[in-house]
């Protein structure tokens, strides 16, 4: 890193999905991350082929700035495509595909917290989308698994984690029990993460002591807060997934 009276270029850090972590790797190393806070993917600050650094903020003497260039598609030295270049194309293709299909179904995975379920379903409806709640759908002679598969064709899922059960490890005692979500909620959460990808699954978690799975790398648990901030987080995630929704509708 050069610290003199001449201009110089800092280094950019980007995750493998193309989320920009920082433009200031050298001047502000505390801003770097090993994994992306948004999607959980690994990060890099150099070309994976030739190891050339990804050019970040341009430091110019006497000029104070707080931003820099966007993540480039290719290495400026060897021309190799960065890992996120093809992924961005796939995301774009998926968004186009989703828009061409029936996109209004939002599957709601829930436990025993009816108030939480109804609040989320109400917001989904306000946004002009169709909340899919399994027990409200006709059985049609199907088993519960067949019924689930029949109605699981949504392109986005919202998993509601509420303290419905108390559990402890086999070597522990009842006094060590902690509240956790119903096991069907965890199963269905994993199903949709695998089927749709974690960028199309929103996990809403009741505030307070609630044990959640630690093995879903990159899955962010959004607090289901009393202030209602979760509603706008939902809108943000839906927009990122390609849905045309208006946050003003939830006010």
Cα separation values, 229 from 24, 145, 224, 233, Å: 30, 33, 8, 7
Using the predicted structure, report yes or no on whether residue 195 has a pLDDT greater than 70.
yes
Tell me, what's the pLDDT at 96?
46
Dump pLDDT digits (tens) for 48-60.
999 999 998 888 7
**All structural domains of the chain with their residue ranges:** 8-83, 102-250
Residue 168 has pLDDT above 50, yes or no: yes
The predicted model gives 150-163 an average pLDDT of: 87
pLDDT confidence of residue 102: 45
pLDDT band of 238, cuts 50, 70, 90: very high
Name, of 93-102, 111-120, 202-211, 239-248, the range with top average pLDDT: 111-120
Q: Which fold has domain 102-250?
A: Rossmann fold (3.40.50)
Q: What is the pTM of this model?
A: 0.57
Give the C-alpha separation, 87 to 197, whole Å: 13
Nearest to 212 by CA among 176, 159, 171: 159
In whole numbers, what is the pLDDT of the chain averaged over residues? 83
| CA–CA separation, 116 and 126 (whole Å) | 16
What was the pLDDT predicted at 49?
Answer: 93
């Amino acid at each position: 890193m050069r610290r003199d009276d001449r201009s110089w270029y800092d280094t950019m850090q980007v995750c493998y999905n193309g989320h920009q972590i920082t433009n200031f790797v050298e001047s502000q190393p505390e801003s770097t991350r090993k994994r992306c806070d948004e999607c959980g993917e690994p990060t890099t600050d150099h070309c994976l082929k030739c190891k050339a650094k990804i050019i970040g903020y341009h430091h110019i003497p006497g000029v104070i700035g707080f931003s820099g260039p966007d993540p480039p598609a290719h290495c400026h030295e060897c021309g190799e495509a960065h890992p996120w270049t093809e992924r961005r194309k796939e995301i774009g293709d998926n968004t186009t595909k989703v828009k061409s299909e029936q996109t209004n179904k939002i599957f709601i995975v829930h436990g025993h917290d009816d108030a939480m379920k109804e609040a989320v379903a109400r917001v989904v409806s306000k946004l002009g989308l169709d909340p899919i709640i399994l027990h409200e759908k006709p059985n049609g002679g199907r088993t519960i698994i067949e019924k689930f598969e029949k109605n699981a064709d949504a392109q986005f899922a919202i998993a509601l984690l509420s303290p419905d059960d108390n559990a402890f490890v086999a070597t522990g005692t009842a006094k060590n029990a902690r509240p956790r979500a119903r096991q069907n909620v965890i199963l269905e959460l994993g199903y949709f993460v695998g089927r749709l990808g974690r960028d199309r699954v929103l996990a809403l978690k009741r505030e307070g002591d609630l044990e959640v799975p630690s093995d879903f790398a990159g899955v962010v648990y959004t607090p289901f807060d009393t202030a209602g901030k979760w509603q706008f987080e939902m809108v943000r995630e839906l927009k990122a997934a390609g849905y045309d929704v208006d946050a003003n509708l939830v006010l």
